[in-house]
């Protein structure tokens, strides 16, 4: 493997993809949530064709890009494998006007991202930086996110694809590729056509820290409380006014105060209020329910139903409406049936000279939803750091290593019947 070529390819791709604004939009009410995600999709489609990938197809309506690298095995042995990454960036920080730059040989100190605006990434605030002393880092100018989540994954997958297409002497089975929209806002690869994708097994690439992987996620639901009040002039309000904001506040006080994201870790579940808006007549509280354990997860949903009943008894049953929408389930329930996928992934990481790290993922991935749709799909980290914010960065070496890991997976699948 020519590491120099791969190094330059992933660096160039990450810089180029980062400049394309693909930010998704929560609560848009349609999919894809933003048309600008298609700008990257068009680029990937043309690039896949140029490097020699087969069956390239861009589903413009659903904003999904597909490709396939056919098996070159003489006896057609091997199990088909797929790789999936998402094209959108998070709405947590601006994705417009991204201005990536490369810091050469990081020295371990503070990094001036924007001299004119006095924006500095302080090493003391981000201890993981110390792991990358001496490496090249792709950073922002401190005014936008970078988009390494998940464009670092796309850069690695595309570079792997180019390498395999240029080196037919490397034997492999069928390899399916897909790039999807809206992961950051709950899209969960909903419009990925599994028949067109082709592979029956796959890996998503998404997450912090090189060499980390996930085979377990939260069970997840979203709960929305709607409160209907009655407004009247404050001078004559006694016995008549029903304040919807009071009802929302009452609910907030009923939630377990220590079972919030900021107080939990590991496999501990939580309730997370993501928005609370209202006035006297109408209020809405939107919150997330999360737990790794299925039974505890159901108990959390039941607890919120009881809260709604209790609030209804106090204020009137017709004044409290609760809607719970399931989002995704713990993918470990599916992946435990295909343990070899994890064995292959761990071995591929080790062959790249990295010690694999697995922790229950305190979030969701496209792979969680896809696993329950019949596509077992563990998740490999993309290797970026500080995602969803202005201090995001991508070590170029991490992307190179991910290319090596992907190639190792393809080699192992070649021998898997």
List, by residue number, the catalytic residues: 88, 183
C-alpha–C-alpha distance, residues 271 and 251, integer Å: 12
Q: What φ, ψ does residue 24 adopt, rounded to 5°?
A: -90, 170
Burial 111-139 (b: 16+ CB within 10 A, else e): bebeeeeebebebeeeeebeebeeebbbb
DSSP letter at 328? E
Cβ neighbour number for residue 89 with a 10 Å cutoff: 32
H or E element at residue 372: helix 366-372
- 3-state secondary structure at position 214: strand
Per the CB < 8 A criterion, the answer to whether 150 and 382 are in contact is yes
DSSP letter at 188? T
Sort residue 285 into left (φ over 0), alpha (ψ -120 to 50) or beta: beta
State the pairing for strand pair 202-205/379-380.
parallel
Q: Going by C-beta distance under 8 Å and a sequence separation of 6 or more, which residues neighbour residue 389?
A: 92, 93, 145
Size (the chain), residues? 417
DSSP letter at 374? T
Q: How far is CA 265 from CA 58, 271, 282, in A?
A: 40, 13, 34
Q: How far is CA 94 from CA 26, 184, 213, in A?
A: 14, 14, 27
C-alpha–C-alpha distance, residues 204 and 378, integer Å: 6
Per the CB < 8 A criterion, the answer to whether 353 and 386 are in contact is no
Cβ neighbour number for residue 362 with a 10 Å cutoff: 18
In 45-146 the beta strands, taken as DSSP E runs, fall at 54-59, 64-69, 81-86, 101-103, 111-114, 119-121, 137-139
């Amino acid at each position: 493997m020519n590491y120099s070529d791969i190094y330059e390819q992933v660096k160039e791709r990450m810089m180029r993809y980062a400049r394309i604004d693909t930010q998704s939009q929560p609560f848009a009410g349609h999919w894809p949530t933003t048309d600008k995600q298609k700008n990257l999709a068009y680029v990937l489609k043309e690039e896949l064709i140029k490097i020699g990938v087969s069956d390239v197809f861009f589903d413009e309506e659903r904003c999904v890009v597909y490709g396939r690298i056919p098996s070159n095995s003489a006896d057609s042995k091997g199990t088909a494998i797929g790789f999936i990454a998402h094209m959108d960036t998070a709405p947590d920080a601006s994705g417009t006007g991204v201005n990536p730059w490369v810091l050469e040989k990081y020295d371990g100190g503070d990094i001036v991202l924007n001299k004119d605006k006095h924006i500095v990434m302080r090493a003391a605030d981000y201890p993981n930086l110390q792991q990358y002393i001496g490496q090249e880092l792709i950073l922002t100018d401190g005014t936008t996110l970078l988009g390494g989540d998940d464009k670092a994954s796309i850069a690695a997958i595309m570079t792997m694809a180019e390498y395999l297409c240029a080196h037919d002497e490397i034997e492999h089975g069928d390899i399916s590729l897909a790039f999807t929209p809206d992961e950051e806002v709950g899209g969960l690869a909903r419009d990925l056509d599994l028949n067109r994708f082709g592979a029956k097994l796959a890996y998503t690439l998404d997450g912090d820290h090189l060499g980390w992987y996930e085979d377990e996620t939260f069970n997840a639901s979203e709960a929305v409380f709607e409160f209907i009040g009655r407004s009247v002039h404050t001078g004559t309000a006694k016995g008549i006014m029903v304040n919807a904001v009071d009802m929302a506040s009452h609910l907030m006080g009923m939630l377990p105060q220590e079972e919030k994201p900021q107080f939990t870790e590991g496999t501990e579940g939580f309730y997370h209020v993501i928005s609370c808006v209202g006035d006297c007549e109408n209020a809405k509280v939107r919150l997330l329910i999360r737990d790794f354990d299925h039974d505890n997860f159901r108990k959390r949903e039941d607890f919120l139903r009881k809260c709604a009943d209790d609030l209804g008894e106090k204020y009137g049953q017709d004044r409290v409406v609760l809607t719970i929408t399931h989002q995704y389930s713990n993918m470990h329930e599916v992946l435990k049936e295909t343990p070899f996928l994890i064995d292959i992934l761990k071995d591929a990481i080790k062959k790249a000279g990295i010690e694999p790290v697995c922790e229950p993922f305190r979030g969701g991935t496209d792979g969680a939803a896809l696993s329950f749709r019949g596509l077992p799909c563990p998740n490999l980290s993309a290797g970026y750091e500080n995602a969803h914010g202005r201090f995001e960065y991508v070590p170029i070496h991490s992307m190179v290593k991910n290319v090596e890991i992907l190639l190792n997976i393809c080699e192992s699948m070649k021998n898997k019947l």
